[in-house]
Structure formats: structure tokens, C-alpha cells
Amino acid sequence: MEAQGCDELASQAPSATFVLLTPDTKDWRVCNPDRAERAFVPGSTFKVPHALIALESGAVVDEHQRFVWDGLQRMAPVWNKPTSMAEGMRNSTIWVFQRIAKAIGWEREQAWVRRLNYGNGQVGPASSLTEFWLTGPLRISAIEQVAFLNALRAAALPTPKVNVE
């Protein structure tokens, strides 16, 4: 069903989409359904499943585990310091998640992306381990993303609730 405000969204941002799921009623509201069904690389939205995979695989002890900054100056000052996974999520610190990907390893990353039924499930070759969510081949649509987040919220993923919290 089309959400209210879709005309306004289309006039301001014709290529944008909006997806809302009301979990109790399973009522979906979508603006620009064609765009909502088209898959794109997840980029920063992959931080949520990536953190879950890191915890599940044991690559990270907990969200407070700190990663030593490599000294490279990056665009945002907040990226230029030792950072925990929780801080990395808040600040979208790519280098933290690249380190996490290396700690998880290609085989476990691929297995978990498929196990979580995340997007097209494609991590790609081992050479893409530190950027598959930024450049592909992993892709997910807005509708799939909302469905994943709903499964996470409902504790319907194959993971213990403690790692979801």
C-alpha cells in the first residue's frame, strides 16, 4: 500500500524511496515501489548485520572491544582515533569494519551473510572481503532491508538474543 506523503517525496527526491512496516499488523507502506524493490550495495546499513556476524563468529568479544587506530588520517576527525565497534557503528568508521571483516574471515562472512538471508547473499571472492558491502557484489533492496531489521527486532534470526541486544 502506498504511504502518505509519497507525492511530496517524489517531487522533492524522485529517485528516493520510503518503506515502513508496522510489525503488529504486517502492514507495509511504500513510496516508489520500483525503487524499493531494486537492490543496491548496502554501504553503511551493513554495519548492523556485520556487528551481529562479528559477535556470533567470535571475531569481536563485545561491542566495547577497541581497535587500534593505524595512524592514517581519514576524512572525518572522529575516524582518526582508537575506536570500539559501538563507536564505529555510531560514526560509520569504515576501517573498523574492514578490520572486523578480516577477523571474521571470508568463509565465515559468506556463511553468515547467507545464514542471515541478507540481500543476495553474495560476499564475492576473498579479495573483496574488506569492501563487498561498499562496492559489491552484496546487494539488498529497501524492502529486504526492512524485512531483515524486522526479523532482527522479532528475534527471528538464527542468533542468540544476547548478541542482538
Domain that holds residue 58: 39-139+157-164
Is 44 among the residues known to form the active site? yes
What CATH number is attached to the domain comprising 50?
3.40.710.10
Residues 6+ away with beta carbon under 8 Å from 82: 66, 67, 68, 69
11 in a domain, yes or no? no
- Taking the C-alpha atoms of residue 128 and residue 134, their distance in angstroms, rounded to an integer, is 10
| Predicted confidence (pLDDT) at residue 132 exceeds the cutoff of 70 | yes
1 in a domain, yes or no? no
Catalytic residue among 44, 57, 84, 92: 44
21 in a domain, yes or no? no
13 in a domain, yes or no? no
Question: In this structure, are residues 23 and 150 in contact, taking their beta carbons and an 8 Å threshold?
Answer: yes
Structurally, how many domains does the chain consist of? 1
- Taking the C-alpha atoms of residue 160 and residue 163, their distance in angstroms, rounded to an integer, is 6
pLDDT band at 162 (very low <50, low <70, confident <90, very high): low
Among residues of the chain, what percentage have pLDDT more than 70?
Answer: 95
pLDDT band at 163 (very low <50, low <70, confident <90, very high): low
